[in-house]
Amino acid sequence: MTGKEIREKFLKFFEERGHRILPSASLIPTNDPSILWTAAGMVPFKPYFTGTAKPEMLRVTTCQKCLRTPDIEEVGRTARHHTFFEMLGNFSFGDYFKEKAIPWAWEFTTRVLGLPAEKLWISIYLDDDEAFDIWHREVGVPAERIVRMGKDTNFWEIGVGPCGPCSEIYIDLGEERGCGSPECRVGCDCDRYLEIWNLVFIQFFRDEAGNYTPLASKGIDTGMGLERVASVLQGVNSNFDTDLFREIMDYTAGLVNREYGAEKKTDMALKVIADHCRAVTFAIADGALPSNEGRGYVLRRLIRRALRFGRLLGLNEPFLYRVSGAVIRQMADVYPELPANKDHVLRVIRSEEERFGETLAQGTEILNRLVQEARNAGRTVIDGREAFRLYDTYGFPLELTREMAAEEGLTVDEDGFAAAMEEQRERARSARQETEYLSEAGAFYKSLREQLGETRFVGYDVLETGARVL
Ligand code: ATP
Ligand code: MG
Ligand code: MG
Ligand code: MG
C-alpha cells in the first residue's frame, strides 16, 4: 500500500462513519501564541475542545502536516522520527467518546490495513479502567497485551489547553528489531515496539498554572503517523525506506553519484537532508521565513543542519533548493500549496544556502581548531565564548556546535554561551538607547516637549474648528 493509498483509506473510513474530511491546516498555528508550530492533528481544533468556538461538524477527519523540533536529533537515529510528518486523525467534539473511538481504531488497523492482531499491543493510562474494559471485553485484546503506562507517555497535553489520558496501539516488529535488553518491552526507545496510533481521550483542561479541570463535553483526538504505518505495510525497516521518502533520498544520492543503503554515514546524511528539506519546504510554503528568532530560527537551524550533512556528502554548492524541488514534485498532488509557492520556496532556501555557505567552511575550521585545543589542554568542554563567536560571526546555531562537538566527544559550556549572548544584548541595548537619543526625530521631539510641556490628544471630542464631536 502506498503512502497515498493509506491516506485515502483512512479518510474514507472515517468519512463513512459520519466524519467530514477537512484539508490540513497550516504548519503555522493561527491565534495561538503558546506554540510555534502545528505539532499534532488536534492543534487547529483546540477551540472546539475548549468550547471557545463552535464546530460546524461534531466529527472530523484530517491528514495534518506536523512539525516537531524536539525530535530533530532523533531523525536518522531512530527508524520512526521526523521533524515534519503527516498525522492522520479522527476527532469528536463532544460527540462520541471511547466506546466508538477504540473499536474503530481496531477495525481500521486490523481489517482495513490488515495488520496481524496478535502482534498488536495496547497501552493505556494508569487508572483508565474504562479504556481497559473496552479493549479487553469488547474488542477482545488479551489482558497481557494491554499495558498500563504513566503520565510521560500516556497523558497528552501541549501547553495550555485541552488534554487527557491516551491509549496507544503498538506493533511488535520482532525480536530482531529490538535492542536485546531483557528490559525491552512496549514503550522501549528501540525499534522493536513501534507506536503507530495514539488515541487521546480529551477530558480535562490544563490552565497556565498547571491545574486540570474536567471539560463539560468530552472529545476524541487521535493521531496515526502516516510514515510509520507505511513502513509497516511496505515491510521495510524504517520510515525512510517507504515510498514517501525514497524518491527524495535517491534524488540527493544521485547528486553525488552515490546510492542509499550502501553505507551507514551516507544514509544518515541522506535521511537528515530529506527530513529537514521536507520540513523547511512545507514551512516556507506556509509562510515561515528564516530569521534569528522563534519560528525563523527553527527554519534556519534545520537548513543549516541539512547543509552540514550535505557537506559530509561533498555537496559544497547550493543543493538543498534542488532537493526541495524533489519534495514538491513528490507531494504536489496532495498539497497544492507546494506547487503554488514553488518559486518562492526555492528562492528562500537558495538564498539561505548562499548566505550560510560562505561561513560554514570557516566556522567548521574554527570549531576543529577549538576541539584540537581543548584536547591538547586535556579539556572536554568547548569555551562558551568561542561557541558564541561561532554563532554570532559564522551563523552556527548553538545546537549545531553542540552536535559537532559531541561527535568529537566534547561538550559546550552553555552557561558561558548564554553569558556572552547576554553581554552582547546589553551592548546592543545601550547602543540603541544612544542612537535613539541622538536621532534627529528624537532630538526634535525632545526639544518640543521641553518647549511645550506635556500635550494631550483631544481630537476624539473636539474638532479643529472648535466644534464638539457628537
Ligand atoms: P514516540 O513515542 O514514538 O516519540 P509520540 O508518543 O511522541 O511518539 P504522539 O504525540 O502520540 O507521538 O503522536 C501521535 C502519532 O504520531 C504517533 O503515534 C506516531 O505514529 C506519530 N508520530 C509522533 N511523532 C512523530 C515523529 N517525530 N515522526 C513521525 N511520526 C511521529
Ligand atoms: Mg515523541
Ligand atoms: Mg510515545
Ligand atoms: Mg504517543
For ligand 1, atom 24, the nearest C-alpha belongs to 81
Average pLDDT (199-227) is 92
**Ligand 4 centroid – CA 220 distance (Å):** 14
Share of the chain above pLDDT 70, in %: 93
Instruction: Decide whether any atom of ligand 1 lies within 6 Å of the 68 Cβ.
Output: yes
Tell me the HSE value of 76 on the side-chain side, using a 13 A CA sphere.
21
**Ligand 3 centroid – CA 94 distance (Å):** 25
pLDDT band at 395 (very low <50, low <70, confident <90, very high): confident
Instruction: Decide whether any atom of ligand 1 lies within 6 Å of the 191 Cβ.
Output: no
For ligand 1, atom 31, the nearest C-alpha belongs to 225
**Which pLDDT score, from 0 to 100, does residue 467 have?**
64
Tell me which residue has cell 585545543. 373
Average pLDDT (299-307) is 95
Instruction: Decide whether any atom of ligand 1 lies within 6 Å of the 6 Cβ.
Output: no
pLDDT band at 272 (very low <50, low <70, confident <90, very high): very high
Instruction: Decide whether any atom of ligand 1 lies within 6 Å of the 224 Cβ.
Output: yes
67 forms beta bridges with: 84
**Which pLDDT score, from 0 to 100, does residue 163 have?**
87
> Which one, of 135, 190, 207, 208, lies nearest residue 166 by Cα?
135
For ligand 1, atom 9, the nearest C-alpha belongs to 198
Instruction: Decide whether any atom of ligand 1 lies within 6 Å of the 172 Cβ.
Output: no
**pLDDT tens, residue by residue, 75-125:** 998 999 999 999 999 999 999 999 999 999 999 999 999 999 999 999 999
Which grid coordinates are listed for 227? 510514515
**pLDDT tens, residue by residue, 325-377:** 999 999 999 999 999 999 999 999 999 999 998 888 888 999 999 999 999 99
Instruction: Decide whether any atom of ligand 1 lies within 6 Å of the 245 Cβ.
Output: no
Report the distance separating Cα 230 and Cα 236, nearest Å: 9
In 313-383, which residue ranges form alpha helices assigned H by DSSP?
A: 320-331, 337-340, 342-376
**Ligand 2 centroid – CA 25 distance (Å):** 21
ipTM: 0.99
Q: How far is the CA of 83 from the CAs of 68, 75, 267, in angstroms? A: 5, 7, 17
Contact 189, 74 (CB under 8 A): no
For residues 215 and 338, the model is more confident at 338
**Which pLDDT score, from 0 to 100, does residue 436 have?**
57
Tell me the HSE value of 383 on the side-chain side, using a 13 A CA sphere.
15
Share of the chain above pLDDT 90, in %: 77
**Ligand 1 centroid – CA 326 distance (Å):** 25
**Which pLDDT score, from 0 to 100, does residue 465 have?**
62
Residue 39, SS3 per DSSP:
coil
Residues recorded for the chain = 470
pLDDT band at 425 (very low <50, low <70, confident <90, very high): confident
Residue 460: pLDDT over 80: no
The ligand that comes nearest to the alpha carbon of residue 69 is: 1
Distance between terminal CA atoms of the chain? Answer: 70
pTM, rounded to two decimals: 0.86
For ligand 1, atom 20, the nearest C-alpha belongs to 225
Instruction: Decide whether any atom of ligand 1 lies within 6 Å of the 225 Cβ.
Output: yes
**Ligand 4 centroid – CA 154 distance (Å):** 7
Contact 88, 224 (CB under 8 A): yes
Ligand 1: residue of 195, 220, 241 to mutate (most ligand atoms within 8 A of CB) is: 195
**Which pLDDT score, from 0 to 100, does residue 429 have?**
79
Contact 135, 123 (CB under 8 A): no
Residue 435: pLDDT over 90: no
Mean pLDDT of all residues in the chain? 92
For ligand 1, atom 14, the nearest C-alpha belongs to 223
Which grid coordinates are listed for 275? 527530513
Q: Phi and psi of 427, rounded to 5°?
A: -60, -40
Residue 70: pLDDT over 90: yes
**pLDDT tens, residue by residue, 174-193:** 999 999 999 999 989 899 99
